[in-house]
Amino acid sequence: MRKNKTTVKSLYKNSIKYIKESKNYILAIVIIFFISAIIGLIIPIPEEIAFKIIEALKELLKQIKGKNTFQIIKFILFNNTKTSLFGLITGIFLGIIPILLTITNGYLLGFVSLISIQNGGILSLWKILPHGIFELPAIFISLGMGLRIGATIFQENIKENLTKNIKESLKTFILIIIPLLITAAIIEGFLISLV
């Protein structure tokens, strides 16, 4: 019994270490995300595109409508896990997809923030903040690891490094990302239920 505890602990420590080793990739994702969010916040887009984004957001809200708190949590967890894992795994294609996902999500956050400010003033942004406390770090880490996997192509011993990065990333996803996403889904689910 003691041995299993030590193994889980060492796996967890290795995952934390891997995140620290991936900090430059994660930082690159964070910078791209916030630049995209600022663009979404300050640069106007054609009405037709804005309309399509709003319609997509309304469609997302329709899928949540009528669900109880547990169903909302499950829905959010499934979507966030799917996006994070997709961003991590598709990093193998030179890290292009994690970067595109980062730009898209950052821009959407900026756009939604702009709509919130227009409808409820700058203080309305505080309503959005709790939704991202655990979700954003989880997504940043996932996409950062995806970017690291993609960057392997430019390193020596490609096959060995690629295998190592995929294994470490998947372990980290299970031990660190999923618990963060579960926490995020619970917080978001309860906040949405209260509205």
53 has pLDDT over 50: yes
Give one DSSP letter per residue of 63-107, joined into a string.
HHTT--HHHHHHHHHHHHHHHHHHHHHGGGTTTHHHHHHHHHHHH
- 1 pLDDT band (50/70/90 cuts)? very low
Flag whether 50 is in a domain.
Answer: no
The pTM score is 0.87
Flag whether 12 is in a domain.
Answer: no
Q: What is the mean pLDDT of the chain?
A: 87
3 has pLDDT over 90: no
The number of domains in the chain is: 1
CA pair distance 141, 144, nearest whole angstrom:
5
Range of the domain at 188: 22-42+66-194
Flag whether 26 is in a domain.
Answer: yes
Instruction: Summarize pLDDT for 54-108 with one digit per residue, the tens.
Output: 888 788 778 888 888 888 899 999 999 999 999 999 999 989 999 999 999 999 8
